[in-house]
Amino acid sequence: MSAPRTPRSAVPVCVLGLGLIGGSILRALDRAGRPAYGWNRSAAAADDASAAGFDATTDLAATLRRANDGGHVIVVAVPVPALDGVLAAVADHAPGAWLTDAVSVKGDVARRVAAAGLTGRYAGGHPMAGTAFSGWEATDATLFDGAMWVVTADDDTPSRAWRLAASVGLDCGAVIVPAGSAEHDAAVARISHSVHVVAEAVAIAAESDPAAKQLALTLAASSFRDVTRVAGTAPSLVNAMCEANAGALLDALDDTIAALNAARAELAEHGTVGTITERGYAARRRYENARRTPFAPVLDGAGWQRALREAGHAGGVVTALPAEADQSTRLDRPG
């Protein structure tokens, strides 16, 4: 997917956190021609971004005042342990800015946003893209091209916040999937968070037999490399996202363990793993053949959030935003 010729919104974007995801958002928005600037706690990332020609700083208060004064969109892309402090700073310095995020768990973030008193300006976001690498040096303007990007449509989500959060994802080259926070967390527990845990287990099992450890690692090829790729992610990042979604992840792990136990029992008792291979093959084919259907979102009227959730649940995606009916009522600035 090529970069959009013109940005979906002229509202500037303030990116908080310039690691892999936040830094790639900054790069992608710049590629799209969308005004954007960033902040990072460590000077190294901010300096590297500045040296690459981006507007970046380590002064959080000044950055947030800039976002507040212009009614900009803030994208929070910091690790989960840093969320409360950053959200408190947003509440203090930028209560009139619009707010979204790029964190992989939505219910936990929504609760933290509510505790900071920012729900009225917030729509959650989660770009379904990444690599096993981290830091500004891993950032890539094309990271989100063609990726799914969740924008939450909970019952208290403001329509303006949803539109602006979606515009950020679209300008980064992604496709928008509307979802509720709880259903998002249940889904990613099964297709992301449990995958990280399973990858760690496979990596550990490969070297668990002392007699064959070195030979196993010598022989390991594409199947082992593909399955364990995400085990190369920094443990602190994996811990943070899994622990923030513990309830849904426990359910997903229970189902995964049950499938493995059933396969072990079938192999021990009948000498075959046919059931799990047939079921797994069919499930993989359904994933490969899954349809995503573009639809035009309606962002007003009674129950618009529920309608978006239902569309997303049925495979609907947003590839373009409808024109705003009355430009005079746009809330690009705080008010």
Alpha-carbon dihedral angle through residues 84, 129, 192, 312, given to the nearest 10 degrees? 90
Q: Which are the contacts of 80, defined by CB distance < 8 A and separation ≥ 6?
A: 103, 105, 108, 240, 241, 243, 244
Condensed to tens digits (0 to 9), the pLDDT of residues 199-249 reads: 999 999 999 999 888 999 999 999 999 999 999 988 988 999 999 999 999
Separation of alpha carbons 297 and 136, rounded Å: 34
pTM for this predicted structure: 0.88
Separation of alpha carbons 168 and 187, rounded Å: 22
DSSP bridge partners of 13: 36, 73
| Three-class secondary structure of residue 103 per DSSP | coil
Q: Which are the contacts of 288, defined by CB distance < 8 A and separation ≥ 6?
A: none
Q: For residue 334, what pLDDT is reported?
A: 36
Nearest CA-CA partner of 27 in 53, 1, 58 = 53
CB 140 within 8 A of CB 147: no
- DSSP states of 51-68: HTT--EES-HHHHHHHHH
- DSSP states of 220-264: --HHHHHHTGGGGS-HHHHHHHHHHTHHHHHHHHHHHHHHHHHHH
Condensed to tens digits (0 to 9), the pLDDT of residues 70-89 reads: 999 999 999 889 999 999 99
Nearest CA-CA partner of 197 in 264, 243, 156, 164 = 243
Q: For residue 325, what pLDDT is reported?
A: 55
Mean pLDDT estimate for the chain: 92
Average pLDDT over residues 99-106: 96
CB 71 within 8 A of CB 333: yes
Average pLDDT over residues 243-268: 97
Separation of alpha carbons 46 and 49, rounded Å: 5
Separation of alpha carbons 312 and 292, rounded Å: 9
Q: For residue 177, what pLDDT is reported?
A: 97
